Amino acid sequence: MASTNDLKNGMVLRIDNQLWSVVEFQHVKPGKGPAFVRTKLKSVTTGKVVDKTFNAGTKVETANVDKRTMQYLYNDGTDYVFMDPDTYDQIPVPPETVGDAAKYMLENQEAVVARHDGSVLFIELPASVVLEITYTEPGLQGDRSTGGTKPATVETGAEIAVPLFVEQGTKIKVDTRDGSYLGRVS
């Protein structure tokens, strides 16, 4: 059990026998009336985001979530296999759990695997990853119907909008949260 005053981003709570991850929270002390905590919670199983308000100091049940940095080994055709670098235990993770993170995962890359009661809840990648462009059309000067971007396919198969000057074979930094181009890497 924890108090709503102890909430932190990423903390996992058990509410009505479901697991919810705290996306953001805000302590509010109005001029009149008691203080309260406004939260944005994301369902760990479905990904649904809801807003929930708690009275300040209310007890909430926290879930014991084991977050470990693991190494992504390979996709065996159905599951993604991760390895604990300390114990060398291998864990298969279904594609539904990995979700969009699969677009930015390379073999031997590290990721945080969150588990609860033996089952994997979610995968957290670093905020950005470096990927190589495997295919993109040449950008022509004057080709500016949009903001000067073109689609490019990276080595994981994901398609990312990049500036016109970026060429095939270039290593780029990609934001894993929204798949946006962050810059070239030399």
User: Looking at residue 116, what is its pLDDT?
Assistant: 86
Nearest to 114 by CA among 129, 131, 103, 101: 101
Can you identify the CATH homologous superfamily of domain 128-185? Nucleic acid-binding proteins (2.40.50.140)
CA dist 109 and 150 (Å) reads 27
Query: Who's near 87: CB < 8 A, 6+ residues apart?
Result: none
pLDDT confidence bin for 142, thresholds 50/70/90: low
| 112-123 tens-digit pLDDT | 998 888 888 888
Query: Who's near 37: CB < 8 A, 6+ residues apart?
Result: 4, 5, 7, 25, 26, 27, 28, 53, 54, 55, 56, 58
Can you tell me the mean pLDDT for 77-98? 92
If you search the block for the tokens 């309260």, which residue do you land on?
Answer: 36
Assigned CATH topology for domain 2-62: SH3 type barrels. (2.30.30)
Task: Return the biggest CA–CA distance within the chain.
Answer: 62
What does the domain layout of the chain look like in residue ranges? Answer: 2-62, 66-124, 128-185
Q: Name the more confident of 87 and 148.
A: 87
Q: What is the mean pLDDT of the chain?
A: 89
User: Looking at residue 143, what is its pLDDT?
Assistant: 55
CA dist 38 and 112 (Å) reads 27
Can you tell me the mean pLDDT for 165-172? 90
CA dist 137 and 59 (Å) reads 56
Q: Counting runs of H as helices and runs of E as strands, what totals does the chain give? A: 1, 16
Two domains, one topology: 66-124 and 128-185: yes
Domain 66-124, second-level architecture: Beta Barrel (2.40)
Residue 61 has pLDDT above 70, yes or no: yes
